[in-house]
Structure formats: structure tokens, C-alpha cells
């Protein structure tokens, strides 16, 4: 009788256990189009996704808002946060530090939303070493380095030095993405609408129950 009660109690606990928070990780070189694709995803599902706002040690660029695009702070503060293990992942980029804090991710989860991270492959490596997160990893890939270079130059926002630096980083990221085990999906963005449809359909299949349900946080 007691054994039967314990089994029923265990089943009841499993049924009523809270759903595991979801984490969607998007990676890809600067100029691959990932930001545009994420904007389309957020526009289509405005109440289902939340963006994790990263910490950044560089100064804001024109149009960037503290707490919206990044949490802008000093290098010393980020170094202290790294020391205190407050980040899920962090990396040095050029002369700056950036990272995804645990608090930023938990804030999105507290709103019952899928948390989206836009991070580089170094961040992907770090997340893969952490247990219990179970992220969905997607890499957005340009058709070629030549096309990526053209996109970067057409933006007219980077110096020649920065373009060369971004291309060098892109080579490393593309090499990492060439190992199929590192990502759940690699999308070649040679046509934005086609690439977005591929991203959208893949995510919808993985998170169908969440994306097709009525939002409970509103």
C-alpha cells in the first residue's frame, strides 16, 4: 500500500513539475544577417521570446541605449563579475570584454519566455561545458567570406582595420561551425526570406507547444 502511494506521488510530481526554461543560442559572424533574422522572429512571436541583454565594457555607439542593447559598464566591473562567476559565458573582443550574466537570462525566464542569446563561438564553447541548460544552438553562415566582406563594406560602419579583424574572426567561427556536432542547425543565409523560413520552421518544430499556445505572461 505504501509503495503504491509513493509511485502515485512520484507520477503526480512529474506531471506537475514546472517546464524546463528554454534557451535559444544564435551564433554567426558579424554581417551574416543573424540580427535581422532575430528581429523578424521577435516580430512574428512578440510575446514568446526575450533577448538576454549582455554586459559590454566598450562605450555605447550612436543609437545604442544602456539596458536595451547592452548593459554598458567598466572593464573592471566585468572582470569582477567574471571572478564572482556571475556569467554563463564571457569573452574578450578586440579591447573589450562582454558577457551573458545569469541574472539577465533568469529575468527572461521569469517572464515565461524563451531566452535568446546572440553570442560568438567562444561563448558557444563555454555554454556547451555547462550542465543543465540544454540550449538549442543555431549558426547563421554567409554564403562565402567574399560575400561577407562585401556586406561589411556596404554597411559603411567599420574602419578597414575593423573589417579585417571581423573577417579573421569569421574564418575561425566558420571553421568551428564546420563540425556538425557543434550546432543543431547551420543555415546558409544566401537569401534572407528563405533563411528566415528555415530558422522559423526549425524553432517552431522544437518549441511547438510554447509557440502555438496562448501567452501566459501577458
pLDDT in tens, 5-40: 343 344 333 333 346 689 999 999 999 999 999 999
Q: What percent of the chain has pLDDT over 70?
A: 88
Give the model's pLDDT for residue 108.
97
Of 86, 111, 109, nearest to 99 by C-alpha is 86
Give the model's pLDDT for residue 19.
62
Buried b (16+ CB within 10 A) or exposed e, 165-183: ebbebbeebbebbeeeebb
| Mean pLDDT on 150-178 | 92
CB 49 within 8 A of CB 116: yes
Residue 51 has pLDDT above 80, yes or no: yes
CB 54 within 8 A of CB 97: no
| Mean pLDDT on 110-119 | 96
Mean confidence (pLDDT) of the chain: 88
User: Would you place residue 213 in the very low, low, confident or very high pLDDT band (cuts 50, 70, 90)?
Assistant: confident
The neighbouring-strand residues paired with 23 are 115
- Spatial separation of the C-alpha atoms in residues 54 and 91, rounded to whole Å: 11
Q: How many CB atoms sit inside 10 A of residue 10's CB?
A: 10
- Spatial separation of the C-alpha atoms in residues 35 and 49, rounded to whole Å: 14
- Spatial separation of the C-alpha atoms in residues 63 and 68, rounded to whole Å: 11
pLDDT in tens, 197-209: 999 999 999 999 9
User: Would you place residue 215 in the very low, low, confident or very high pLDDT band (cuts 50, 70, 90)?
Assistant: low
55-56 and 96-101 beta bridge pairing = antiparallel
Residue 92 has pLDDT above 90, yes or no: no
Residue 118 has pLDDT above 70, yes or no: yes
Residues serving a catalytic function are 61, 155, 166
Which of helix, strand or coil describes residue 139?
strand
| Mean pLDDT on 210-218 | 68
Query: How many angstroms separate the first and last alpha carbons of the chain?
Result: 44
Buried b (16+ CB within 10 A) or exposed e, 25-39: bbbbbbbbbbeebbe
Give the model's pLDDT for residue 17.
39
- Spatial separation of the C-alpha atoms in residues 78 and 137, rounded to whole Å: 25
Of 96, 194, 181, 191, nearest to 139 by C-alpha is 181
CA angle 151, 27, 154 (to 5 degrees): 10
Amino acid at each position: 500500500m505504501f509503495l503504491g502511494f509513493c509511485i502515485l506521488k512520484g507520477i503526480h510530481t512529474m506531471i506537475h513539475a514546472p517546464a524546463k526554461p528554454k534557451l535559444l543560442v544564435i551564433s554567426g559572424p558579424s554581417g551574416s544577417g543573424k540580427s535581422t533574422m532575430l528581429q523578424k522572429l521577435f516580430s512574428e512571436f512578440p510575446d514568446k521570446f526575450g533577448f538576454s541583454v549582455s554586459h559590454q565594457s566598450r562605450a555605447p555607439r550612436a543609437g545604442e541605449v544602456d539596458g536595451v542593447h547592452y548593459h554598458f559598464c567598466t572593464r573592471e566591473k566585468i572582470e569582477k563579475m567574471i571572478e564572482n562567476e556571475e556569467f554563463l559565458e564571457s569573452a574578450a573582443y578586440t579591447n573589450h570584454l562582454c558577457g551573458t550574466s545569469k541574472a539577465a537570462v533568469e529575468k527572461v525566464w521569469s517572464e515565461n519566455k524563451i531566452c535568446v542569446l546572440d553570442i560568438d563561438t567562444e561563448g558557444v564553447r563555454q555554454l556547451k561545458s555547462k550542465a543543465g541548460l540544454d540550449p538549442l544552438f543555431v549558426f547563421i553562415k554567409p554564403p562565402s567570406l567574399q560575400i561577407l566582406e562585401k556586406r561589411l563594406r556596404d554597411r559603411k560602419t567599420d574602419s578597414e582595420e575593423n573589417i579585417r579583424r571581423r573577417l579573421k574572426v569569421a574564418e575561425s567561427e566558420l571553421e568551428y561551425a564546420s563540425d556538425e556536432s557543434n550546432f543543431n542547425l547551420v543555415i546558409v543565409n544566401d537569401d534572407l526570406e528563405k533563411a528566415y523560413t528555415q530558422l522559423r520552421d526549425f524553432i517552431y518544430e522544437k518549441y511547438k507547444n510554447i509557440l502555438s499556445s496562448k501567452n501566459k505572461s501577458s
